[in-house]
């Protein structure tokens, strides 16, 4: 099993898949980090335990033990001589800010993974998948215990971590910082890769070297954000897509987060990941506990590609839940770009009728069906159907759409409230606000205070009432602005630092109640496109709208970047009408969008017969490969960030390596272009594979000599190559 403990050396050695993670309890009781990287033998690693190299101006702890400022530690405190970024910061009742944790006990939970109360988290399907190590640390003076949890997966290079603070004292404590994980690397020759962006330009890849001081990837927007995603990679200087060591750091959380990499005077790097401590403080009364979100640490010696594949597998198998976990997702058509707010039931049924000709599965009625919502100025919070606008009941509308052969889906934006709404007029205090301070508007709306139980109940009841009215099989959950005036009337002054996190506990509670009450519904989260694409939301909703930008060329970069951290089938990807973004053939746009949870964003009543036929063919092509795209290993082959973005290629390989799909895309034609080749990966080297054209090549030839993309070029062209392994008998025949 993956977790080992040596009583003599007091070394914990976690072997997660092909990775090792080791730490040691020092004589003084500190939990010191020893090693993280490629799997190694269970040797005595005590020699790696650094004890205070001559750090300038760093005092020793009161017991005279070596300075903490240069020791590699697992969960460093603050205020007692380690001047680097801390994993925990606590203010005592007397106002003192100091915390120093020492190990008091540990337990190995074989085949178990405790739940994180109220929070999204990875889970085990069976006891052989992972073990969990629980290490209890204590600051006796504060009466504070912190339990560190490490779940090591047996078959994947993945360790998840979280921490639980418990107040065993007699006075309240203010937890001003509690990170989910901290890793001290004895080196600084590392690059960081992170995903930055903006609305319509989400998750672009950025790489930069670490330097003395801190690199911080964080959000203080009240959401995981368009701007920086709660994911980062630290990697060797020479690491590439396919080779070199890479360490992934990720958080299962949708609110304010921070990933910080700090290089100190001794050229060591400390990485912390957790809730952003800015404007965070949790008041912990005696007898109470606080649980952090879960962090995910991953390791690959096959570059970023190996890291992504492990994250994709573990996210698909151990995070995504519910009926839709293994089901192939429907091809949908969404009303937003086709109609915006301007629709009634007849128009939607006409969409369904025309869309049925193209063989899509589901029609989504987007924003505009509730309250008096005819533009974005009103009605958020008034979750009752505007039958006058529709011209019929929701039940009847869904029945009419079903009669055309399509399933029916609906849009909500539950966390928002329009000042011009019945709900706001009745409960102005439900909007997040600070008394006497003006209320900032974003898209002319306020954020509803999800921390209030009465708000959670109102949303559950009003949404359930709508969902029960009709045959609804899909729900798009939107979130179209960031949080401001984060304050809660029902909490005292010294608990206002809790509101940002309480908002998410309230949201997660509501999501849990709804997904349990409506297990057949496929939920997709959204935030002005991809402004909240994170593992927290994916725990409740198995797919996320990746970006409002459906331009296929822009999408190459967005989807490439998103795939660094998230499985392909979690990415909503649609073909939009050419007037939204660059012109381009439906086939090309569809080829990009089929690398995801596929659908359309256009008015089907405006399609020509030729376009309908083209869409039918795209849908058939998607279904042909949907299983492979949904469950296969993903290889990024040619980056849209290289070659001036001239061409991009990626590949799926089925888990048994019997099939592979390679997708290549150009942007603009290059004159006098070089011989374009792709070098597929992940195949069975000795097996023979048959190409679409009938040619047969061995896996090693395909991977090392590559495939030539002859006659491939022109503006916006794509090429799909599908290769199937020849069965052994046929292989024998072929060699005779």
Q: Which of 260, 160, 165, 159 is nearest to 219 (CA)?
A: 260
Please state, in angstroms and rounded to a whole number, the distance separating the CA atoms of residues 627 and 725. Answer: 16
Query: Taking the complex as a whole, how short is the minimal distance between the CB of residue 606 and ligand GLA, in angstroms?
Result: 19
Angle between helices 586-593 and 609-631 (to 10 degrees): 20
Q: Does 534 bind ligand GLA (CB under 6 A)?
A: no
Exposed (0-12), middle (13-18) or buried (19+): which is 324, by Cβ within 10 Å? Answer: buried
Residues in Cβ contact with 729 at an 8 Å cutoff, skipping those fewer than 6 apart: none
Nearer to ligand GLA (CB atom), residue 20 or residue 334: 334
Q: Taking a C-beta distance cutoff of 8 angstroms, is the pair 331, 619 a contact? A: yes
Residues in Cβ contact with 344 at an 8 Å cutoff, skipping those fewer than 6 apart: 389, 390, 391
Nearer to ligand GLA (CB atom), residue 424 or residue 652: 424
Is 478 an active-site residue? yes
Q: Cα dist. 406→331, 341, 350, 520, 581 in Å?
A: 10, 21, 12, 16, 27
Query: Taking the complex as a whole, how short is the minimal distance between the CB of residue 199 and ligand GLA, in angstroms?
Result: 8
Question: Is 458 strand, coil or helix?
Answer: helix
Within 498-527, the residues that bind ligand GLA by CB under 6 A are 526
Within 204-243, the residues that bind ligand GLA by CB under 6 A are none
Binding mask 287-326 for ligand GLA (x = CB under 6 A): ----------------------------------------
Exposed (0-12), middle (13-18) or buried (19+): which is 377, by Cβ within 10 Å? Answer: middle
303, 497, 528, 604: which one contacts ligand GLA (CB under 6 A)? 528
Query: Taking the complex as a whole, how short is the minimal distance between the CB of residue 443 and ligand GLA, in angstroms?
Result: 8
Please state, in angstroms and rounded to a whole number, the distance separating the CA atoms of residues 157 and 153. Answer: 7
Q: Does 366 bind ligand GLA (CB under 6 A)?
A: yes
Please state, in angstroms and rounded to a whole number, the distance separating the CA atoms of residues 71 and 364. Answer: 56
Nearer to ligand GLA (CB atom), residue 153 or residue 369: 369
Nearer to ligand GLA (CB atom), residue 179 or residue 543: 543
Binding mask 539-558 for ligand GLA (x = CB under 6 A): ------x--x----------
Catalytic residue among 361, 407, 478, 603: 478
Nearer to ligand GLA (CB atom), residue 199 or residue 487: 199
69, 156, 367, 498: which one contacts ligand GLA (CB under 6 A)? 367
Query: Taking the complex as a whole, how short is the minimal distance between the CB of residue 600 and ligand GLA, in angstroms?
Result: 13
H helices of 483-551, in order, are: 499-517, 535-540
Strand partners, 32: 24, 73
Please state, in angstroms and rounded to a whole number, the distance separating the CA atoms of residues 734 and 24. Answer: 58
Label the pairing between strands 362-365 and 332-334: parallel
Count residues contacting ligand GLA (CB under 6 A)? 11
Q: Does 478 bind ligand GLA (CB under 6 A)?
A: yes
Is 534 an active-site residue? no
Within 480-499, the residues that bind ligand GLA by CB under 6 A are 480
83, 336, 408, 540: which one contacts ligand GLA (CB under 6 A)? 336
Query: Taking the complex as a whole, how short is the minimal distance between the CB of residue 482 and ligand GLA, in angstroms?
Result: 13
Query: Taking the complex as a whole, how short is the minimal distance between the CB of residue 246 and ligand GLA, in angstroms?
Result: 31
Nearer to ligand GLA (CB atom), residue 197 or residue 528: 528
Please state, in angstroms and rounded to a whole number, the distance separating the CA atoms of residues 498 and 496. Answer: 5
Nearer to ligand GLA (CB atom), residue 238 or residue 443: 443
Question: Is 492 strand, coil or helix?
Answer: coil
Query: Taking the complex as a whole, how short is the minimal distance between the CB of residue 543 and ligand GLA, in angstroms?
Result: 13
Q: Cα dist. 422→371, 379, 383, 419, 605 in Å?
A: 8, 7, 10, 9, 35
Q: Taking a C-beta distance cutoff of 8 angstroms, is the pair 593, 575 a contact? A: yes
Place of tokens 């962090």: 295
Nearer to ligand GLA (CB atom), residue 165 or residue 483: 483
Query: Taking the complex as a whole, how short is the minimal distance between the CB of residue 535 and ligand GLA, in angstroms?
Result: 20
Binding mask 62-101 for ligand GLA (x = CB under 6 A): ----------------------------------------
Query: Taking the complex as a whole, how short is the minimal distance between the CB of residue 646 and ligand GLA, in angstroms?
Result: 30
Nearer to ligand GLA (CB atom), residue 280 or residue 533: 533
* Element holding 620 (H helix, E strand): helix 609-631
Please state, in angstroms and rounded to a whole number, the distance separating the CA atoms of residues 445 and 430. Answer: 13
Nearer to ligand GLA (CB atom), residue 342 or residue 710: 342
Side-chain half-sphere CA neighbours of 553 within 13 A: 17
Dihedral angle sign, alpha carbons of residues 513, 224, 119, 595 = positive
Q: Taking a C-beta distance cutoff of 8 angstroms, is the pair 698, 726 a contact? A: no
Please state, in angstroms and rounded to a whole number, the distance separating the CA atoms of residues 613 and 206. Answer: 40
Dmax over CA atoms of the chain, in Å, equals: 87
Question: Is 623 strand, coil or helix?
Answer: helix
Nearer to ligand GLA (CB atom), residue 74 or residue 366: 366
Nearer to ligand GLA (CB atom), residue 322 or residue 531: 531
Q: Taking a C-beta distance cutoff of 8 angstroms, is the pair 484, 432 a contact? A: yes
Please state, in angstroms and rounded to a whole number, the distance separating the CA atoms of residues 501 and 506. Answer: 9
> Which residue number has the CB closest to ligand GLA?
367
Catalytic residue among 382, 548, 554, 603: 548
Query: Taking the complex as a whole, how short is the minimal distance between the CB of residue 593 and ligand GLA, in angstroms?
Result: 14
Q: Taking a C-beta distance cutoff of 8 angstroms, is the pair 498, 491 a contact? A: yes
Please state, in angstroms and rounded to a whole number, the distance separating the CA atoms of residues 441 and 419. Answer: 9
Binding mask 385-414 for ligand GLA (x = CB under 6 A): --------------------------x---
Q: Cα dist. 255→156, 490, 514 in Å?
A: 27, 21, 20
81, 248, 529, 584: which one contacts ligand GLA (CB under 6 A)? 529
Q: Taking a C-beta distance cutoff of 8 angstroms, is the pair 103, 137 a contact? A: yes
Label the pairing between strands 228-236 and 190-196: antiparallel
Query: Taking the complex as a whole, how short is the minimal distance between the CB of residue 310 and ligand GLA, in angstroms?
Result: 30
Query: Taking the complex as a whole, how short is the minimal distance between the CB of residue 705 and ligand GLA, in angstroms?
Result: 44
Query: Taking the complex as a whole, how short is the minimal distance between the CB of residue 573 and ligand GLA, in angstroms?
Result: 13
Residues in Cβ contact with 7 at an 8 Å cutoff, skipping those fewer than 6 apart: none
Nearer to ligand GLA (CB atom), residue 507 or residue 709: 507
Q: Which of 661, 586, 111 is nearest to 360 (CA)?
A: 586
Binding mask 419-458 for ligand GLA (x = CB under 6 A): ----------------------------------------
- Would you please indicate which residues are annotated as catalytic (active-site) residues? 478, 548
Provide the binding-site residues for ligand GLA, judged by CB under 6 A.
336, 366-367, 411, 478, 480, 526, 528-529, 545, 548
């Amino acid at each position: 099993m993956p977790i080992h403990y040596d009583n003599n050396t007091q070394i914990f050695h976690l072997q997660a898949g092909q990775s090792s993670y080791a730490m040691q309890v020092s004589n003084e009781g500190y939990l010191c980090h020893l090693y993280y990287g490629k799997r190694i033998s269970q040797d005595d690693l005590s020699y790696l335990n650094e004890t205070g190299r001559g750090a300038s101006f760093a005092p020793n702890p009161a017991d005279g033990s070596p300075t903490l400022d240069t020791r590699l530690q697992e969960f460093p405190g603050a205020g007692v001589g380690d001047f680097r970024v801390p994993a925990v910061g606590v203010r005592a009742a007397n106002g003192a800010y100091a915390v120093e944790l020492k190990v008091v006990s540990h337990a190995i939970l074989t085949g178990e993974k405790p739940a994180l109360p109220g929070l999204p988290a990875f889970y085990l399907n069976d006891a052989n998948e992972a073990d969990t190590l629980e290490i209890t640390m204590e600051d006796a003076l504060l009466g504070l215990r912190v339990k560190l949890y490490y779940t090591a997966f047996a078959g994947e290079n993945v360790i998840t971590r979280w921490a639980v603070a418990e107040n065993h004292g007699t006075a309240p404590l203010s937890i001003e910082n509690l990170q989910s994980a901290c890793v001290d690397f004895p080196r600084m020759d590392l690059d960081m890769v992170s995903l930055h962006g903006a609305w319509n330009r989400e998750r672009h890849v950025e790489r930069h070297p670490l330097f003395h001081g801190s690199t911080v990837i964080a959000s203080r927007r009240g959401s995981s954000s368009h701007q920086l995603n709660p994911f980062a990679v630290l990697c060797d200087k020479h690491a590439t897509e396919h080779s070199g060591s890479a360490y992934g750091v990720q958080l299962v959380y949708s609110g304010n987060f921070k990933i910080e990499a700090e290089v100190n005077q001794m050229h060591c790097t400390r990485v912390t990941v957790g809730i952003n401590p800015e404007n965070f403080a949790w008041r912990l009364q005696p007898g109470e506990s606080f649980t952090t979100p879960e962090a995910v640490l991953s390791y690959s010696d096959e570059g970023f590609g190996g890291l992504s594949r492990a994250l994709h597998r573990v996210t698909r198998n151990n995070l995504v839940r519910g009926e839709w976990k293994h089901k192939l997702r429907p091809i949908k058509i969404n009303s937003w770009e086709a109609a915006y707010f301007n629709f009634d039931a007849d128009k939607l049924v006409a969409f369904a009728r025309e869309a049925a000709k193209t063989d899509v599965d589901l029609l989504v009625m987007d924003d505009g069906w509730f309250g008096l919502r005819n533009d974005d100025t009103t009605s958020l919070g008034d979750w009752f159907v505007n039958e006058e606008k529709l011209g019929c009941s929701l039940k009847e509308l869904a029945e009419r759409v079903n009669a055309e052969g399509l399933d029916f889906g609906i849009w909500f934006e539950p966390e928002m409230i329009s000042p011009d709404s019945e709900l706001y007029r009745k409960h102005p205090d439900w909007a997040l606000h600070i008394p006497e301070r003006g209320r900032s508007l974003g898209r002319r709306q306020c954020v509803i205070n999800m921390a209030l139980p009465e708000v959670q109940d109102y949303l559950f009841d009003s949404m359930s009432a709508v969902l029960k009215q009709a045959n609804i099989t899909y729900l798009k959950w939107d979130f179209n602005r960031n949080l401001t005036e984060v304050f809660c009337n029902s909490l005292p002054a010294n608990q206002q630092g809790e509101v940002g996190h309480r908002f998410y506990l309230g949201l997660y509670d509501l999501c849990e109640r709804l997904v349990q009450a409506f297990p057949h519904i496929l939920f997709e989260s959204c935030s002005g496109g991809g402004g909240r694409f994170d593992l927290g939301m994916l725990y409740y909703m198995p797919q996320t709208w990746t970006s409002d930008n459906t331009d296929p060329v822009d999408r190459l970069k967005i989807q490439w970047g998103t795939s660094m951290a998230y499985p392909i089938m979690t990415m909503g990807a649609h073909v939009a009408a050419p007037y939204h973004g660059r012109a381009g053939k439906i086939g090309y746009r569809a080829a990009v969008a089929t690398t995801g949870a596929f659908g359309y964003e256009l008015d089907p009543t405006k399609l020509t017969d030729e376009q309908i036929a083209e869409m039918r063919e795209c849908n058939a092509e998607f279904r042909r490969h949907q299983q492979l795209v949904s469950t296969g290993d993903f290889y990024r082959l040619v980056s849209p960030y290289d070659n001036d973005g001239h061409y991009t290629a990626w590949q799926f390989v089925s888990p048994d390596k019997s099939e592979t799909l390679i997708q290549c895309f150009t942007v603009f034609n290059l004159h006098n272009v070089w011989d374009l080749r792709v070098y597929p990966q992940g195949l069975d080297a000795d097996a023979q594979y048959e190409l679409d054209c009938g040619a047969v090549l061995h896996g090693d030839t395909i991977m090392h000599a590559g495939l030539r993309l002859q006659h491939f070029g022109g503006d916006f062209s794509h090429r799909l190559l599908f290769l199937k392994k020849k069965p052994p008998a046929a292989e024998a025949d072929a060699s005779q």
